[in-house]
Structure formats: structure tokens, C-alpha cells
């Protein structure tokens, strides 16, 4: 609540003088002979109620002054305008993502955990998810429903697609998803741990297409510097590891990022991977403009109505039951 004309409250300073005046006015007495003959006259209820008239007048004036100050209740409303960012997450789910150099979990599990946390930091952005191995698949189109997107992300598993690493196809798929976007900024975040060895589209050709459509690509190479062995299950000997290590094609990922004015990152452990997504989160911030509207509701009636009723009651009583002899 606020007062539109608070200066009128200064009139309240006159109330003590008014109270003093009313007491002086009502202090007059008419002396008369004592007819009680030794008995004390007990004043009636109405006689004892005479001071209430002065109090009523005092209260009426106070309420009137408060009404002159124009009390108002404010009702605020915010209109949020945001320059949203459309983001497509591209996740490698090839067999090499089983590598366990991101202890205590596999590369895929570590990636899903970090990406899930990344979703919690975004606001007002449409985000989609593309997974790829030997082929590319849209796991979730661009959406603002992060809860559904998070569930689809956690359901991603190795083996959903034919094995391989079709980086070019995945990037082309992401670019196609962003082709009709009207967002201020269009972003693709490509995470892979291998080399392009499948698909029909060359990664650098896909990068050129992304650049033509103003899609910025952040590339993340996942895996330790010395590569890692891929675990597999042998029906006789149980858990085994392949003899060949898997390596990241850093040169290609750097060229993709440079072509699209993005950046390349290398994640060698869980902490570094989390830091990369946090850095991308800070680099790609959503611009939000907030316009606040305030409406005021007049509350003058709240003090004015009781003041009017009290004044009418005071006039009625002063001229009937509480009428005094002039």
C-alpha cells in the first residue's frame, strides 16, 4: 500500500489541539442546589457515555485526514521478453563411448550426467538432442520442456544405433533442425570421442552448411590423451578389452569449430567435462528484458465509509439521547 498525497497526514498534528479544545468546551458546569439530601446521584449510562461523542468526532476527523492522503494498493505485473537461444546437443553413442577412462563410469554415463546438469542451468531456450553412431537420430526435437528432454537423455544407451561414428551426418542433422529457427542465436554442441568413419556427409562439408545458416558449433573431444581400450563381453572369458585404442580426431573438431566461429574443447576427465559445459553456458547467455507494470487501486473508501457512518451516528446521538442543555 502507498499514500498518493502523504502531505495531508501533517494535519494529524492538529488532533491533540482539537482534543484539548473539546475537553475545555465540555468542562463547563452549572451549579445547582443539592437536592439529594445526603444521597449521591448515580449518573445513568447515557450520561457516562457523553465523552464518547468527543472521541467519535476525534476519530472521524482522523479518518477523513487519512482519506485525503489517498491510500492506494499497488498491483505489479512483469512482462518478460527474452532473446532465446536454440541449442542442439549432439551426443556420440558409438561403441567407443563404453571406454572407462572417466572413472568410475563410462564416457557415455559421464557425458549424460554433465549434459543433464547443463539443462538445469538454461532458461527460456529451446534445446534438442541428436544422438549418433553409424547413423544419426533425433532423440528429441527443439523443446522448452527440459523435464521430458532430460528423461530422453537418460534413456540413451549404446547399441540404439548401428555402430560407427558418423560425425558429418550428425552435424548435418543438427543444422537441418536449426534451419528454420528464428532464434537470435543458433548453437550446436558436438561431443564425440572418435574419428569420422561412417555416414555419407563429410564433417567439414557439414560445417560449411552450418556456417551458411549461422549455426555456431562448439566441439568437444572426449577421452584421455593416450586413448583408451574399449571393454566388451566375451561369452567365455567375460569382460575383456579390445587391443586397439580409440582416439579423438582433434584436428577435424578444431576445423569444424573454426569454420562456424565456435570453439573446440578437450575433456580428459569428469571435472574438465563439467567445466567445459559451464563455460559454454556462460558464453551463450540468454538476453532477458523485464518490463514492469504497476497498477494502483484506490482505497479511499475504506477510511471514508466508516468515517461517514460514525459521523451520522454522532449527529444522531448528540441530538437525541446524548443531547445536552445549551
> What confidence tens digit (pLDDT) does each residue in 157-205 have?
998 999 999 999 999 999 999 998 888 889 999 999 989 999 999 999 9
CA angle 297, 299, 304 (to 5 degrees): 155
* pLDDT at res. 25: 63
- Do the beta carbons of residue 163 and residue 93 sit within 8 Å? no
Rounded distance, CA 271 to CA 257, Å?
22
* pLDDT at res. 139: 96
- Highest mean pLDDT among 17-21, 34-38, 124-128, 235-239 belongs to 124-128
Residue 325 pLDDT exceeds 60? no
Q: Which CATH class is domain 85-285?
A: alpha beta
Q: Which range has the worst mean pLDDT, 187-191, 253-257, 267-271?
A: 267-271
Average pLDDT over residues 297-306: 81
Would you put residue 101 in left (φ > 0), alpha (ψ -120 to 50) or beta?
A: alpha
Per-residue pLDDT of 223-233, as tens digits, reads 887 767 777 67
3-state secondary structure at position 150: helix
CA torsion sign for 157, 128, 228, 243 is positive
3-state secondary structure at position 157: coil
Higher pLDDT pick, 153 / 287: 153
Q: What is the DSSP string of 60-115?
A: HHHHHHHHHT-EEEEEEEEEEEEE-EEEEEEEE-SGGGG---BTTB-HHHHHHHHH
% of the chain beyond a pLDDT of 70: 78
Residue 321 pLDDT exceeds 90? no
Closest C-alpha to 287, from 84, 79, 78: 84
* pLDDT at res. 121: 84
Cell of 287: 538476453
C-alpha distances (whole Å) from 273 to each of 114, 141, 246 are 7, 24, 18
Half-sphere exposure of 283 (CA within 13 A, CB side): 16
Average pLDDT over residues 113-139: 92
Residue 311: band (very low, low, confident or very high) from pLDDT cuts 50, 70, 90: confident
* pLDDT at res. 288: 53
Residue 215 pLDDT exceeds 70? yes
CB atoms near residue 252 (< 10 Å): 21
Residue 79 pLDDT exceeds 70? no
Per-residue pLDDT of 36-71, as tens digits, reads 555 556 666 666 666 677 677 778 888 888 888 888
Residue 216: band (very low, low, confident or very high) from pLDDT cuts 50, 70, 90: very high
With a CB cutoff of 8 Å and minimum separation 6, the contacts of 202 are: 168, 196
Higher pLDDT pick, 238 / 8: 8
Domain ranges in the chain are 2-27+39-76+294-318, 85-285
- Highest mean pLDDT among 96-100, 263-267, 315-319 belongs to 263-267
Average pLDDT over residues 144-157: 94
* pLDDT at res. 295: 72
With a CB cutoff of 8 Å and minimum separation 6, the contacts of 27 are: none
Residue 31 pLDDT exceeds 60? no
* pLDDT at res. 310: 82
Higher pLDDT pick, 60 / 28: 60
Higher pLDDT pick, 80 / 273: 273
* pLDDT at res. 76: 64
Compute the mean pLDDT over every residue in the chain, rounded to the nearest whole number: 82
Higher pLDDT pick, 46 / 117: 117
* pLDDT at res. 101: 81
* pLDDT at res. 245: 67
Amino acid at each position: 500500500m502507498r499514500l498518493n498525497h502523504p502531505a495531508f497526514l501533517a494535519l494529524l498534528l492538529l488532533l491533540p489541539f482539537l482534543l484539548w479544545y473539546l475537553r475545555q468546551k465540555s468542562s463547563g458546569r452549572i451549579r445547582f442546589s443539592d437536592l439529594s439530601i445526603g444521597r449521591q446521584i448515580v449518573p445513568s449510562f447515557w450520561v457516562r457515555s457523553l465523552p464518547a461523542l468527543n472521541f467519535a468526532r476525534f476519530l472521524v476527523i482522523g479518518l477523513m485526514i487519512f482519506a485525503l492522503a489517498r491510500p492506494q494498493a499497488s498491483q505489479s505485473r512483469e512482462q518478460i521478453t527474452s532473446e532465446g537461444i536454440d541449442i542442439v546437443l549432439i551426443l556420440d553413442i558409438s561403441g567407443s563411448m563404453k571406454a572407462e577412462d572417466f572413472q568410475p563410469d563410462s564416457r557415455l554415463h559421464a557425458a549424460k550426467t554433465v549434459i543433464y546438469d547443463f539443462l538445469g542451468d538454461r532458461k527460456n531456450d529451446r534445446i534438442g538432442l541428436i544422438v549418433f553412431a553409424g547413423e544419426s537420430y533425433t532423440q528429441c526435437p527443439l523443446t522448452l520442456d527440459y523435464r521430458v528432454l532430460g528423461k530422453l537423455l537418460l534413456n540413451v544407451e549404446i547399441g540404439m544405433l548401428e555402430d560407427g561414428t558418423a560425425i558429418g551426418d550428425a552435424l548435418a542433422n543438427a543444422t537441418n533442425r536449426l534451419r528454420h529457427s528464428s532464434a537470435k542465436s543458433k548453437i550446436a554442441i558436438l561431443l564425440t570421442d572418435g574419428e569420422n568413419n561412417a555416414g555419407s556427409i563429410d564433417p567439414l562439408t557439414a560445417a560449411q552448411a552450418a556456417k551458411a545458416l549461422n549455426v555456431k558449433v562448439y566441439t568437444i573431444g572426449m577421452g584421455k590423451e593416450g586413448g583408451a581400450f574399449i571393454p566388451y563381453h566375451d561369452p567365455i572369458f567375460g569382460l575383456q578389452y579390445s587391443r586397439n585404442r580409440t582416439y579423438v580426431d582433434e584436428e577435424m573438431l578444431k576445423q569444424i569449430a573454426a569454420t562456424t566461429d565456435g570453439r573446440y574443447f578437450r575433456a580428459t576427465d569428469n571435472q574438465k567435462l563439467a567445466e567445459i559445459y559451464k563455460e559454454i553456458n556462460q558464453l551463450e547467455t540468454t538476453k532477458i528484458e523485464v518490463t514492469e507494470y504497476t497498477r494502483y487501486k484506490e482505497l479511499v473508501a475504506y477510511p471514508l465509509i466508516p468515517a461517514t457512518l460514525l459521523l451520522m451516528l454522532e449527529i444522531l446521538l448528540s441530538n437525541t439521547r446524548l443531547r445536552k442543555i445549551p
